[in-house]
Amino acid sequence: MLGSDALDILFNKARTHNDWQDRDVDTVLLTKAWDLTVMGPTSANCEPMRIKFVKSPEAKERLKPALSEGNLEKTMAAPVTAIIAHDMEFYEKLPQLFPHTDARSWFAGKDDAIAATAFRNGTLQAGYFIMALRAIGLDCGPMSGFDNAKVDAEFFAGTPVKSNFLINIGYGDASKLFARSPRLAFDEGAEIL
């Protein structure tokens, strides 16, 4: 079992950040977060999540028109913004990722199964990614509040990849955090049958 320090880093003291220190995020850390993320389970090891790391000023300008007004300033200030997306042709990699059987045939030509599996497992992987970022010492601010169609046209045109949500990444400015919002108690959100 993890000790209280690790649990604090991942959960108890981890926060969603909106304000950022002026510190670069090394690509080595983004790679490490990816490497940890892909170790988490997905259906048939399908790994549909894809990420575009928006880091350069030029890339930030490309993202800017898709952002809602409330997310504009904090996203432009974040050292990195990850566009979390999922590949609607993830099943083409199943011969590599799940070689024990013909798992590709479970999805090829089955649009409903593709859509549900790509979205569900891509979102699941994004949760692992948030935990991986925290585990390696980075802060994050996941968010919606952007135009998916604009992001897809700008960053994924001509591909089968569709955006899901954004995560601002960096070193948060803890002095600007507001009090933690309440959480549901166990009996308010869970039931043992």
What is the predicted pLDDT for the residue at 58? 98
Rounded CA gap, 78 and 81, in Å? 7
Task: Walk along the chain (193 residues) in steps of 10 and give the mean pLDDT of each run.
Answer: 96 97 97 98 98 98 98 98 98 98 98 98 98 98 98 98 98 95 97 98
What is the predicted pLDDT for the residue at 43? 97
| 40-78 pLDDT per residue, tens | 999 999 999 999 999 999 999 999 999 999 999 999 999
Q: Quote the mean pLDDT of the chain.
A: 97
Is residue 153 within 8 A of residue 3, CB to CB? The reply is no
Rounded CA gap, 190 and 98, in Å? 33
Is residue 86 within 8 A of residue 49, CB to CB? The reply is yes
What is the predicted pLDDT for the residue at 143? 97
Other CB atoms within 10 A of residue 140 CB: 24
What is the predicted pLDDT for the residue at 82? 98
What is the predicted pLDDT for the residue at 121? 98
What is the predicted pLDDT for the residue at 81? 98
Is residue 154 within 8 A of residue 134, CB to CB? The reply is no
What is the predicted pLDDT for the residue at 78? 98
> Would you call 163 exposed, middle or buried from its count of C-beta atoms within 10 A (0-12, 13-18, 19+)?
buried
Superfamily of domain 16-173: NADH Oxidase (3.40.109.10)
What is the predicted pLDDT for the residue at 55? 98
Is residue 168 within 8 A of residue 140, CB to CB? The reply is yes
What is the predicted pLDDT for the residue at 130? 98
For residue 163, the cross-strand partners are 85
Other CB atoms within 10 A of residue 26 CB: 11
Rounded CA gap, 139 and 143, in Å? 13
pTM listed for this prediction: 0.97
